[in-house]
Amino acid sequence: MTKPLIYALLLSILMVAAPHADHLPLWVAALCVALLLWRAYLTRSGGTLPTRWLLTAITLAGAGGILIEFHTLFGREAGVTLLILLTALKFMELRSSRDAMVLIYLACFIVITNFLYSQSIPTALYMLATLLVIVTTWVQLNGQTIALGPRLKIAGTLLLQAIPLTLVLFVLFPRVQGPLWGLPQDAFASSGLSDDMAPGSISRLSLSEEVAFRVVYASAPPRREQMYWRGPVLWLFDGRTWTQGRGARTGAPQFDKLSQPIDYSVTLEPHNKRWLFALEMPDRLSVPARLTDDFQLLRRDALKERLRYEARSHLAYRANPHEAEAQLQRALQLPRGLNPRALELAQRWRTEGTNDAAVVRAALDHFNREDFRYTLEPPLLASSNSIDEFLFETREGFCEHYAGSFVFLMRAAHIPARVVTGYQGGEYNEVGGYYIVRQSDAHAWAEVWLSGQGWVRIDPTAAIAPTRIERNLAAAVPNTAALPFMARSAPQWLRDLRLNWDAVANRWNQWVLGYNSELQFAFLTRLGMEDITWQKLALNMTFALGLVVAGFALYMLRHLFAQQPDKMQTAWLKVCRKLAKAGLPRAPHEGAQDYAARIAAARPDLAENIRDLAARYNALRYGGKHDEAMLREFQRRATTFKT
Amino acid sequence: MLSALRQRFNTWLFRPKIEHGTVTLTQRRIFILPTRQGLAMAMLLALMLLGDINYNLSLGYVLTFLLAMMAVMSMLHAFRNLAHLEVRAGRADAVFCGEAARFMLHFRNPGALARYQLVLRHENGSTVTFNAPAQQDSEVAFPLPATRRGWLQPGRLTLYTEFPLGLFHAWSYLHFDMRCLVYPKPVDEATLPPGDAPDGTGRRSVAGDDDFAGLRVYTAGDALPRIAWKAYARERGLQVKQFSIQIGEELWLDFAAAPEPDTEGKLAHMTRWVLDAEAQGLRYGLKLPDGELPPGDGQPHRDECLRRLALFGTGEPR
């Protein structure tokens, strides 16, 4: 183990583990860095490695710590943490080249675990660079005397040669739809909407610039204020948090279509939840999903990979005008004895209003007239009467405050109502021709059931901050708010750059990350492949790989073929072989002339022929000019020569 | 039965035969198989692929395929590391029993790329690792312990490489007609048998080339460089310089006179005699049961004596 090799291994592990730094527990990250520094110090000073029992103690303590931290040693977070800790510990017993090989394999494996967290283009490029460092170290392990330059060249050559082969494999390798076994719950990050709503839950989300989904409209896009992407519908209120509650089974939802349909396709980022998003109200969907009686689109399983689907919606509709009584009762549920002032206010509207629509108008007017403010940083609502506290004291809130208190007021006035969460709006990307809906577009609104009209969408936020709906969040909140930098007033060139980048990322997502069995099928069919089976794919793949490898082999080993003996030499050797079979082999030092003389003496019957052949051979070989006819004659005579 | 079949298979596949001259490692002579590390790598890749499928990691697929294809390409690189290398057996200087014989092998790398981490291995497990720079000759000494007098033949050597990733083992067999003469190991000390020297020192003067001994008159046939041109210039006639050397008395080293009871012991004793006699500048001859070697001196004579001792009783022609 030379010192440079140990440093190279340290660098490799450091590079692969670095992206994990932000999700490792702090103490594990610190311990790993300490171990690596210790190893570097020992290498520099030439000290001896720690004893086995000390390492065992550290290992057990570390594993115990991870067990306490995560309550398990398996699953994504705990598994990755353990893997990195064990890798750092492996350094402390790095003695033989076999240990070094184990570290190289571990490094390769850690690269893969990084992809559990991010598969973006920068991650891919970084990992390619890391791989180059790993392979260079790998070459160093097998040839410690080789200088860095040639080592880097060999590693780079290997990597570059592997790239076209990888491309072939990536396209043709028969894809299996995972998962093969049950995945641990934390296998995928979940971001985005959750299935409950409390004050602060959506405003927190709106700080995130992450993409929720991207939309391409088949024809003209709808107006912005119509872009309501329906997500979870919340029925049950416990005084603080809205949840979905347990629904009464009422059968299929139904709605009357009152407008032309609008077609679009959605590429949804994995959010580890079951619901899909569609414009209100969805009519048709290209992937299997259930439309619940409150118009949510639900898959059978949580979404763990990016999903693209086509959908058709009707923007004007009459939803469930004959709603079941049980559902209407659910839509009137209120926590008992809370928020007396709100109840009182609603009762007053009820007695004043002529019908339900008038009460709705009164509530919206109230929000509009009174001094309500739309803000990302609302004051904390501490009391158990949170609706009262918001409506009559703080009067500052985000969309979840307005939607929640509006539904509360409606229910108090005996109008069936529910909270709908989802996304509103989106940013148009001119480069890619699609809309980007980000987490910062998360929104909550209300639905009330009006006799004869069914469920009607009411967005109280629109009454307070209409710009939020017509333009975007940045226009609706003051610039000083804790909005993401980009969402605020960034210069135009920066916005363009971001949109360009998003268009590239979208392509990457669709074609590289989303390349699954379906896309493979579609792509290969478009290339002209028919009746695609995995056997056929495997056959094609093997053939294509063989072709490329053979190409490389021919190129790399061309000198092997270039130095074949020439025709003249071949013919002469044929004569020599015939004579050797007859018991007269040519001695290595013997020239053609001497050999012929010896043969002539030993076998007078061959004398004439062999002298002729030797003379011709010498003339061709040393005559100095190339004569095709002479060569052919020589070949002919050599072939017909008999002993 | 099975082992006989395997033997025949190996004979057919590897064509063991002793070779002369320059051997070029063509593709027919190079064999390649994965190493244990290569098999471990295959397991790792299978594990990675399972993970990719399960977690549906597109970039995981890319990485797995990249690594797998690098492994495949490393096979070609390992092969190329040996391919078309030219090998020639060199000399192997005689050694005494107990020393290490050094077999010289000459490698010529005609290609434009350096060959790294080539390893020569003997059946006894000893190895020598070397690099062969591009378009250069390199000389490699392969040491083998000389444990018996007589001819030492290294037998078949294996030239292998696992460069660049250690996943594949590419090898070729080299079986040259190399041999190294091993002299008997001399005993530590031995008294030379008495020689028949007239002055008791064992030395007398004869005409030779070492010391200037005077001038004599030129006779036809004397070598021109020996003519004393200075004397001729002084008009003292054509004279020739005379030299003389001291030479040892004729000493017979007799097999029967060696005190040891056994043949090997006697040979070891005689070896010491030869070395001492040569060191003292004596003229000495050998008397062995299978013949005599007339007295002489100088390096060639010493080597011839040692050779006779080394090969005594081995059936090797004298």
| Structure confidence by residue, pLDDT tens digits, B140-194 | 999 999 999 999 998 889 999 998 999 999 999 999 988 999 999 999 888 888 7
ipTM: 0.79
Percent of chain A residues past pLDDT 90, beyond the cut? 32
Exposure pattern of B260-291 as b/e (b: 16+ CB <10 Å)? eeeeeebbbbbbbbbbbbbeeebbbbbebeee
CB contact under 8 A, A179 and B72: no
pLDDT digits (tens, 9 = 90+) for A333-378: 888 888 899 999 999 988 887 788 888 988 988 888 888 888 877 7
Half-sphere exposure for A408 (CA within 13 Å, toward CB): 29
Q: How confident is the model at residue A7 (pLDDT cuts 50, 70, 90)?
A: very high
Q: What pTM did the predictor assign?
A: 0.68
Q: Tokens 């076994």, residue?
A: A181
Minimum-distance CB partner of A143 among B67, B80, B116: B116
What mean pLDDT is predicted for residues A515-544? 84
CB contact under 8 A, A183 and B54: yes
Q: Which two tokens stand for residue A432?
A: 């890619």
Kindly list the residues from chain A whose CB atom is less than 8 angstroms away from the CB atom of residue B54.
Answer: 178-181, 183
- End-to-end alpha-carbon separation of chain B, Å? 42
Most confidently modeled of A117-126, B23-32, B49-58, B210-219?
A117-126
Q: Of A42-51, A243-252, A283-292, B201-210, which gets the smallest average pLDDT?
A: B201-210
| B95-96 and B31-34 strand pairing | unpaired
Residue pair A20/A80 in contact by the 8 Å Cβ criterion: yes
Q: Of A258-262, A271-275, A302-306, B51-55, which gets the smallest average pLDDT?
A: A302-306
**Residue B212: strand pairing partners:** B243
* Residue B225 to chain A, least CA–CA distance (Å): 39
Kindly list the residues from chain B whose CB atom is less than 8 angstroms away from the CB atom of residue A146.
Answer: 116, 131
DSSP E strands, B184-304:
203-217, 239-248, 250-254, 283-288, 291-296
Residue B6: the pLDDT is 77
Q: How many CB atoms are located within 10 Å of the residue B93 CB?
A: 10
In the A/B pair of chains, how many CB contacts fall below 8 A? 149
Report the alpha-carbon distance of residue A35 to residue A628 in Å, rounded: 74
- Type of residue found at A643: T
Q: How many CB atoms are located within 10 Å of the residue B60 CB?
A: 23
A122 to chain B: nearest residue by CA? Answer: B59
Minimum-distance CB partner of B62 among A142, A170, A549: A170
CB contact under 8 A, A127 and B59: yes
Catalytic (active site) residue A443: yes
Q: Of A231-245, A406-420, A458-472, B232-246, which gets the smallest average pLDDT?
A: B232-246
B59 touches chain A (CB under 8 A): yes
Sheet of strand B31-34, all strands in order from the earlier edge strand to the far edge: B31-34, B168-174, B157-161, B115-121, B127-132
Query: Would you say how long chain A is, in residues?
Result: 643
DSSP assignment of A178-238 equals S-SSPPPGGGS---S--SEE-TTHHHHHTT---EEEEEEESSSPPPGGG-EEEEEEE-EE-
Exposure pattern of A176-212 as b/e (b: 16+ CB <10 Å)? bebeeeebeebbbeebbbbeebbbbbbbebbebeebb
Percent of chain B residues past pLDDT 70, beyond the cut? 86
Q: How confident is the model at residue B33 (pLDDT cuts 50, 70, 90)?
A: very high
Residue A562: the pLDDT is 57
Residue B205: the pLDDT is 47
Report the alpha-carbon distance of residue A379 to residue B237 in Å, rounded: 134
Q: How many CB atoms are located within 10 Å of the residue A433 CB?
A: 10
B289-318 residues touching A, CB cutoff 8 A: none
* Residue B49 to chain A, least CA–CA distance (Å): 10
**Residue A445: strand pairing partners:** A420
Q: Is the pLDDT of residue A139 over 70?
A: yes
Report the alpha-carbon distance of residue A439 to residue A205 in Å, rounded: 6
Residue pair B276/B242 in contact by the 8 Å Cβ criterion: no
B79 touches chain A (CB under 8 A): yes
CB contact under 8 A, B58 and A119: yes
Percent of chain A residues past pLDDT 70, beyond the cut? 93
The better pLDDT of the pair B210, A233 is held by A233
Kindly list the residues from chain B whose CB atom is less than 8 angstroms away from the CB atom of residue A179.
Answer: 53-56
Residue B164: is the preceding peptide bond cis (ω within 30°)? yes
The radius of gyration computed from the CA coordinates of chain B, to the nearest angstrom, equals: 31
Catalytic (active site) residue A459: yes
Q: Which two tokens stand for residue B311?
A: 């090969």
DSSP assignment of A494-509 equals HHHHHHHHHHHHHHHI
Report the alpha-carbon distance of residue A277 to residue A443 in Å, rounded: 13
Residue pair B302/B278 in contact by the 8 Å Cβ criterion: yes
Residue B168: the pLDDT is 96
For residue A342, the surrounding DSSP H or E stretch is helix A340-352
Q: Which of A76, A112, A160 is the best residue to mutate to test the B interface, defined by the most B CB atoms within 10 Å of its own CB? A: A112
Report the alpha-carbon distance of residue A619 to residue A613 in Å, rounded: 10
Exposure pattern of A462-480 as b/e (b: 16+ CB <10 Å)? bbbbbebbeebbbebbeee
Q: Which two tokens stand for residue B257?
A: 């006179």
Q: Is the pLDDT of residue A13 over 60?
A: yes
Question: Collapsing DSSP states into helix, strand and coil, what is residue A381?
Answer: coil
B37 touches chain A (CB under 8 A): yes
Question: Collapsing DSSP states into helix, strand and coil, what is residue B216?
Answer: strand
* Residue B38 to chain A, least CA–CA distance (Å): 11
DSSP A510: I
Residue B204: the pLDDT is 47
Residue A247: the pLDDT is 67
Torsion of CA A548, A551, A555, A557, to 10 degrees: 100
CB contact under 8 A, A165 and B79: no
Q: Catalytic: which of A356, A441, A459, A502?
A: A459
B246 touches chain A (CB under 8 A): no
Q: Is the pLDDT of residue A527 over 80?
A: yes
Kindly list the residues from chain B whose CB atom is less than 8 angstroms away from the CB atom of residue A131.
Answer: 63, 66
Report the alpha-carbon distance of residue A197 to residue A240 in Å, rounded: 9
**Residue B252: strand pairing partners:** B285
Residue pair A349/A444 in contact by the 8 Å Cβ criterion: no
Residue A533: the pLDDT is 81
What mean pLDDT is predicted for residues A118-144? 94
DSSP A585: P
Instruction: Tally DSSP H helices, then E strands, for chain B.
Output: 6, 17
For residue B93, the surrounding DSSP H or E stretch is none
Report the alpha-carbon distance of residue A266 to residue A214 in Å, rounded: 6
Q: Is the pLDDT of residue A394 over 90?
A: no
| A373-374 and A396-397 strand pairing | parallel
Residue B199: the pLDDT is 44
DSSP A392: I
Question: How does the average pLDDT of chain A come out, rounded?
Answer: 86
- Type of residue found at A519: L
Question: Collapsing DSSP states into helix, strand and coil, what is residue A160?
Answer: helix
DSSP B186: P
Q: Catalytic: which of A388, A399, A401, A502?
A: A399
Q: Is the pLDDT of residue A204 over 80?
A: no
What mean pLDDT is predicted for residues B61-89? 93
CB contact under 8 A, A116 and B55: yes
What mean pLDDT is predicted for residues A47-63? 92
Residue B201: the pLDDT is 46
Q: Which two tokens stand for residue B293?
A: 């070697």
Q: How confident is the model at residue B202 (pLDDT cuts 50, 70, 90)?
A: very low
Q: How many CB atoms are located within 10 Å of the residue A70 CB?
A: 18
Q: How many CB atoms are located within 10 Å of the residue A589 CB?
A: 6
A495: phi then psi, degrees, rounded to nearest 5 = -65, -40
**Residue A233: strand pairing partners:** A420
Residue A403: the pLDDT is 92
Residue A133 C-alpha from the chain's centroid = 23
Handedness of CA A615, A618, A621, A624 (dihedral sign): negative
A420: phi then psi, degrees, rounded to nearest 5 = -120, 130
pLDDT digits (tens, 9 = 90+) for B218-272: 776 676 777 777 777 777 777 777 665 555 567 889 898 888 889 999 999 999 9
Q: How confident is the model at residue B24 (pLDDT cuts 50, 70, 90)?
A: confident
Q: Which two tokens stand for residue A514?
A: 């989303």
Kindly list the residues from chain A whose CB atom is less than 8 angstroms away from the CB atom of residue B68.
Answer: 169
